[in-house]
Structure formats: C-alpha cells, structure tokens
Structure 1
Amino acid sequence: MNTLQIKGNWNIAKGKLKQKWADLTDDDLNYVEGKEDELVGRIQKRTGQAREDIEKAIKESNDCGC
C-alpha cells in the first residue's frame, strides 16, 4: 500500500467518524497522526462516550474494505 492509498483510506475513515460524531473538527481528527490516545480523549471530551465505544467506532471506520 502506498502513501496515496493510506491517505485515501484515512480520509474515508475521517468522513465516517465525522458522520458518527458531528461535533468533531478537522483539528480533532488530525490528532490521530501518532496520537491515538489523545484522539480518543478528544472524542470522549466532545461526546462523553466510553473509550471502548470510541475505539470500536474507530476500528470500524478503518475497516472500509478498501
């Protein structure tokens, strides 16, 4: 998988996460680059959802079948 494919997959995942949690900003989602725990924390802060639910949604958004 090349860099362009990875970026495309991440853009798809970001779109799915924004659909699920509309309060997320691009800045929140850009936090994922090497900072998954901080991203989860930001989502928790904005949504009040449990860490396990957020991690499951992130995993599902990355399983796009691409």
Structure 2
Amino acid sequence: MNTLQLKGNWNIAKGKLKQKWANLTDDDLEYIEGKEDELLGRIQKRTGQTREEIEKAIKD
C-alpha cells in the first residue's frame, strides 16, 4: 500500500468518525497520527462514551 492509498483510507475513516460523532473537529481527528490514546480521550470527553464503546464503534 502506498502513501496515497493510506491517505485515502485515512480520509474515509475520518469521514466515518465524523458521521458517528459529529461534534468531533478536524483538530480532534489529527491526533490519530501517533496519538491514538489521546484521540480516544478526546472522543470520550466530547461524547461521554466509554473507551470500550468507542473502540468497538471504530472497529465496526
């Protein structure tokens, strides 16, 4: 998989995350690059969901 494909896949994932949790900002989603725990924390803070609920939703 090349860089362009990875970037495209990330853009798709960002779109799905924003559909699931509309109150996330682009800044929140930038944290995924090397900061997965911080991103999950931001999602938890904005949505009130548990880490397990968020991880399950992302996997789905």
TM-score, with normalisation over the residues of structure 2?
0.95
Q: Which amino acid aligns with 1:3?
A: T
CA distance in 1, matches of 2:35, 2:58: 13
Count of paired positions = 60
Aligned to 1:39: 39
Name which structure has the greater RCO, CA cutoff 8 Å, separation 6+: 1
Aligned to 1:11: 11
Let me know the Cα RMSD of the aligned residues: 0.7
CA distance in 1, matches of 2:26, 2:16: 13
Q: Which runs of 5+ in 1 are unaligned?
A: 61-66
Q: Which runs of 5+ in 2 are unaligned?
A: none
1:1-57 Cα shifts (integer Å, max 9, x gaps):
001101100100000000000000000000000000000000000000010111112
* Runs ≥4 residues deviating over 3 A: none
Q: Percent identity?
A: 87
